[in-house]
Amino acid sequence: MDRSWINTPRMSDAYERGVGEFIQFAKHNAISSNNGVKIRCPYVNCLNRRILSISGIREHLLCDGILKNYTTWTWHGEMLDLPSVHGASKEVHFSMDDRLEDMIHDVGVQSFANAVFKNMSNDAETLLYPGSTNFTRLSTVLRLMSLKAINGWIDKIFTELLELVKDMFSEGNT
């Protein structure tokens, strides 16, 4: 499915058609309940954290826009397109400590994708700390990664920030 509409002006016909296609895709993969169909909102400020009605999501996307980098709709039923480990045409070298390819091969790509999705789902429901009302583990990681990307932080700066935050959180627990 063409996702180029994501980068077109929100007032364009192409963007409006794209939002309609996204809504149809998301509805097709949504789980319905007694309260109707509700899905995660990919609006730039909701970051797929809020679960809203279809009409609420349509309004958010048309008025304010979709996340520009949300091109694989994993929160809406699309599977990750993980590279095949069989018959790769390009040789890839890993260090002896990097066994990720072997793990994916051992469990199978689909099982690996399911495990990743399960972990992400659990992190989406796990509070960042007891009593937290605004942040889950996943929302925190996504917000931090968003800040890194938006501000062009290099890995060194980002790592130092994470180390500082870790020290701040562990300060009261020692």
What is this structure's pTM?
Answer: 0.47
Do 106 and 134 lie in one domain? The reply is no
Quick: pLDDT tens for 26-45: 888 776 656 677 888 898 88
Tell me the chain's radius of gyration from C-alpha atoms. 19
Q: How many domains does the chain have?
A: 3
Range of the domain at 38: 1-78
Per-residue pLDDT tens digits for 89-113? 444 444 444 566 666 666 677 777 7
Q: Same domain, yes or no, for 152 and 172?
A: yes
Same domain, 74 and 118: no
Separation CA 76–CA 28 (nearest Å): 9
Provide the pLDDT for residue 17: 94
Tell me: do 7 and 70 sit in the same domain. yes
If asked whether residues 43 and 93 sit together in one domain, one would say: no
Residues 121 and 151 in one domain: no
Whether residue 92 sits in one domain with residue 57: no
Alpha helices of the chain — where are they, by DSSP H?
13-29, 54-64, 100-107, 109-125, 137-151, 155-171
145 and 92, same structural domain?
A: no
Half-sphere CA count of 132, side-chain side, radius 13 A: 14
Rounded distance between C-alpha atoms, residue 110 and residue 113, angstroms: 5
Question: DSSP secondary-structure letter at 33?
Answer: E
20 Cβ neighbours under 8 A, 6+ residues apart: none
Whether residues 58 and 113 fall in one domain: no
